[in-house]
Amino acid sequence: MSDWLTPGLAHLWLPYTQMKTAPTPLAVVSSQGVRLKLADGRELVDGISSWWTACHGYSHPHIRAAVEAQLATLPHVMFAGLVHEPAARLAMRLAALLPGDLDRVFFTESGSVAVEVALKMAIQYWRNKGRAGKQRIVYFRHGYHGDTFATMALCDPEEGMHTLFAGSMPDQIMAELPTDENLRRAFDLLLDTHAERIAAVIVEPLVQGAGGMQMHDAETLASIAEACRRHEVLLIADEIMTGFGRTGRMFACEEANVVPDIICLSKALTGGTLPLATTVARRHVFEAFLADDPGAALMHGPTYMANALACAAANASLDLFTSEPRLVQVAAIEAQLATELAPCRELQGVTDVRVKGAIGAVELCGKIDLDGLRRRFAELGVWVRPFGKVVYLMPPFVIDADDLSLLTGAVYRVLTERAASLP
């Protein structure tokens, strides 16, 4: 480790990190199942699935074999004028899995870019239909849709991560989630007032992730979809976090019987193996781009889009949702999280405990030492990375009850220690 960690850190720029004051990151040398092995010999149970990606755990033999076989034949080829079997099969499978007629798949490499493509689709959809004034996007408080410039403009301005760029991003429209009748009327009025300016509404179905693990019910999601339909506004579902079983359904929008016009997927798409994302459009959206005029086409094309290795991993990941009981496992995780995180409600400094599917969140108040909490979790043998005011768990679906109890027990212990130190 001494020959790479310290010299390497002298040249690395880490994410979301003040490099002058940040503690030295933990050095990982291997991963297996739900565990990360560190260079110093310790093992940590991963409570957050590497930013919510490793739904099947690490190094699943079926995914590994699929990637190895693909590597031997076709690792990558440009996706302009050429296509390949892994991408074609993956597109067919996604179209069959997704609700309604979400059946045109555009591949990218990251969630942020998938959202950017969705925005381009939505705005150009209306332009192609002769309504070029519909260019604005409505997003919701506590929302988060990525770190690129267009997606930063769709994040809660009070959330803090992107406030430095205020004034340099496109001007979009923030709304409150319509979680009650008064808010629904206000949301409906907003769409009614600005309908000729609004191209789309974007929402994270059921759970707003990086904005604080805020949760809403299926009725709220259904009301958003209905309002969009009435006012001729497209609905974009950002299921980058919630897609592929995380909330208990294969896709969160299914719980509300909602078929968005466009859906964005990534993270767990390849089981946490390789970067891949998709933006999938319904038939009527795709058909608006069909014309004799070349200018009506969608002009976007990432260099590594539909990477063959990543598509092979994604196909193997989808196999596992059929051959192994993933959604049953998620239901068991949900029940255990609800039971074992409930005692945190009684602790000083805790304002809420929320559980949805394989997501458990404990919201804190008061001064929060994030680095101290993260360090203490690692000392207890778990990898849990709180952010903002939230300590959360999003474990791999394959975690067993004992390891999950290790995670929830660590959360309770660390927050009990924190409560004892509060004034």
Which CATH number applies to 63-323: 3.40.50.1820, 3.40.120.10, 3.30.230.10, 3.40.640.10?
Answer: 3.40.640.10
Residues with a known catalytic role: 16, 144, 238, 267
Closest of 35, 56, 60 to residue 268, by C-alpha: 56
Q: How confident is the model at residue 159 (pLDDT cuts 50, 70, 90)?
A: low
Look at residue 1 and tell me whether its pLDDT is greater than 60: no
How confident is the model at residue 155, as a pLDDT?
86
Sheet holding 350-356, edge to edge: 350-356, 359-364, 390-393
Report domain extents, the chain. Answer: 5-56+325-421, 63-323
Q: What homologous superfamily is domain 5-56+325-421 in, according to CATH? A: Aspartate Aminotransferase, domain 1 (3.90.1150.10)
- Count CA atoms closer than 13 A to 128's CA, side-chain side: 21
Average pLDDT over residues 277-297: 97
**What would the DSSP string read from start to end of 54-108?**
-TT-BS-HHHHHHHHHHHTT-S---SSS---HHHHHHHHHHHHHSSTTEEEEEEE
d(CA 61, CA 66): 9
Closest of 118, 323, 352, 364 to residue 238, by C-alpha: 118
Q: How confident is the model at residue 217 (pLDDT cuts 50, 70, 90)?
A: very high
Instruction: List pLDDT tens digits, range 230-283.
Output: 999 999 999 999 999 999 999 999 999 999 999 999 999 999 999 999 999 999
d(CA 399, CA 63): 17
Helices (H) and strands (E) in the chain, counts: 13, 16
Are domains 5-56+325-421 and 63-323 of this chain identical in fold? no
Q: Are strands 359-364 and 382-383 parallel, antiparallel or unpaired?
A: unpaired
